[in-house]
Amino acid sequence: MELAMASAIGILTAAGVYLLLRARSFDVILGLTLLSYATNLLIFSSGRLVTGKPPVLRDGIPADPAYYTDPLPQALVLTAIVIAFAMTAVIIVLAIRSRADNHSDHIDGSRAEAEFQRREQLRHEESRLAAHAAELVAGNESVPARGAMPEPGHEGRA
């Protein structure tokens, strides 16, 4: 029984870690769920794996701990199930929002980052051109735009 439980915990943990390292939000959610299952099994198995023994005192059975199973791991697992469910719900909402904002299921949001950098580059270029146009209107025609190469034969003032 212990070998089967240890194998199940190991397989769930390995699959959970593998899925956590993926770059898709759905895989990460599944990985966290598998890790929570592995943790629940680990907590549950810490209370000695016995069958047919009650977790609470009963009439007609001696109050010796050998006749009972430990109720604390069972209570902890029930609490962990509720917490894991709430955590999964929050992560799913965040993943849906991230997908809506980034138009991608990738965790790193590389598309959104590239779009932001492209927009910033365009904004800086427009500002640069507006500043150069203002200098031309002011009568200082010899100042080239930043990053622009002066025309051959036309040298600007230093």
Going by pLDDT thresholds of 50, 70 and 90, the confidence category of residue 158 is: very low
- pLDDT tens-digit map of 89-117: 999 998 898 888 877 777 766 666 677 77
Structure tokens that stand for 113 in this block: 């980052």
Angle at 107 between CA 101 and CA 111, to 5 degrees: 55
Confidence of residue 151 (pLDDT cuts 50, 70, 90): low
Per residue in 61-73, pLDDT (tens digit) is: 887 877 788 888 8
